[in-house]
Amino acid sequence: MSNERRQLSIWFLVGIILAVYGLTIIGSGLYNMAHPPAQVRGAYLHLDLWWGLVLAAGGALLLWRQWPGKNSA
């Protein structure tokens, strides 16, 4: 038995933050899709959904790559 203490990578924590922010923005985008804002230019593009997906995908990628206990080569 070794008393080796494992530390979390900062990128794992950044992945958690990006994933949470992405999911929150996706939720906001879905709400705005159901209840469109009045007189907002470009609302038809649903940029909040797109950026939420980008953030969630980036967070998921970081979580997958930096998962604790995964062998790093």
For 16-44, what is each residue's pLDDT tens digit?
A: 999 999 999 999 999 999 998 888 888 88
Confidence (pLDDT) at 1: 54
Q: Is 46 left (phi over 0), alpha (psi -120 to 50) or beta?
A: left
Under 8 Å between Cβ of 66 and 9: yes
Confidence (pLDDT) at 11: 95
Quick count: other Cβ atoms within 10 Å of Cβ 10? 9
- CA pair distance 62, 49, nearest whole angstrom: 20
Structure tokens at 5: 């203490």
Confidence (pLDDT) at 51: 97
Angle at 43 between CA 47 and CA 25, to 5 degrees: 40
pTM above 0.85, yes or no: no
